[in-house]
Structure 1
């Protein structure tokens, strides 16, 4: 269990404190939903959680197998639905890892990404489109 304490700051902004570390994260409503868009929106954090979870799991596998993950990047595009309710409709995840020529290591990293707990949690809740590129 992890405790996160959230305080409303007004103006559609909140502050969240990660109790174990004291790290603070702030949110703002997006421009298209009455906010100023000056920070992550709550749904942006869902997309961020997916991308960072995938990167973390890939990092664990990379460290375990001596794979150089340096410079790896993930881009998540979030698409919202507005009807019948406002919600995340689709998340596109583009994973780029350069310099991985060994097919076995590529497959290890793919399986790590697909095994991400956030991915498992979101599966069935919205469309998840994940792709990999392996530039030299």
Structure 2
């Protein structure tokens, strides 16, 4: 079974349906590239996938090791470059409230930095990730 089905819709939008679940995501071209910016752009989704993947693998590791991850939220900024137009940088500020000890935190950060999306992005894309730790 294919992963998704993507349909182009005027004007500069797509509907991407996850075939297994039937969930649909709509994309739009960004305002600075002829779109309305009404939805995530494809490059927004690529950048956002990095933070989502980091949190997912951290959760998997925590579950497998009976660790209470705590609360994490991320703020993400995508930086675009021209000639060629591409993502040049992804900045992530992760705010993490946790009871974990330093050794566990460092292991989880390593897991995050090496998530599948991080390993799949072109090495020219600068990944700037900052964890702001608050002890519970």
Partner of 1:119: 118
Q: SS at the partner of 1:54? A: helix
Sort the Cα spacing of 1:125 and 1:22 in 2 relative to 1 into closer, same or farther, 3 A. farther
State how far apart, in whole Å, the 1-side matches of 2:73 and 2:67 are. 15
Structure 2 unaligned blocks of 5 or more: none
Q: SS at the partner of 2:54? A: helix
Post-superposition CA distance 1:14-69 (Å, at most 9, x none): 00011111110100011111111010000000011101000100101111223323
Kindly indicate whether residue 50 of structure 2 is the aligned counterpart of residue 50 of structure 1: yes
Partner of 1:7: 7
Kindly indicate whether residue 127 of structure 2 is the aligned counterpart of residue 133 of structure 1: no
Aligned residues: 135
Post-superposition CA distance 1:77-103 (Å, at most 9, x none): 100012x21110101122221123401
Sort the Cα spacing of 1:73 and 1:61 in 2 relative to 1 into closer, same or farther, 3 A. same
Q: CA deviation at 1:127?
A: 0.9
Q: CA deviation at 1:112?
A: 1.2
Conserved? CA contact 2:95–2:131, under 8 Å:
yes
Structure 1 unaligned blocks of 5 or more: none
Partner of 1:93: 92
Conserved? CA contact 1:6–1:17, under 8 Å:
yes
TM, length-normalised to structure 1: 0.91
TM, length-normalised to structure 2: 0.91
State how far apart, in whole Å, the 2-side matches of 1:128 and 1:120 are. 11
RMSD: 1.5
Q: SS at the partner of 1:104? A: helix
Q: SS at the partner of 1:36? A: coil
Conserved? CA contact 2:15–2:27, under 8 Å:
yes
Q: Which has the higher strand share?
A: 2
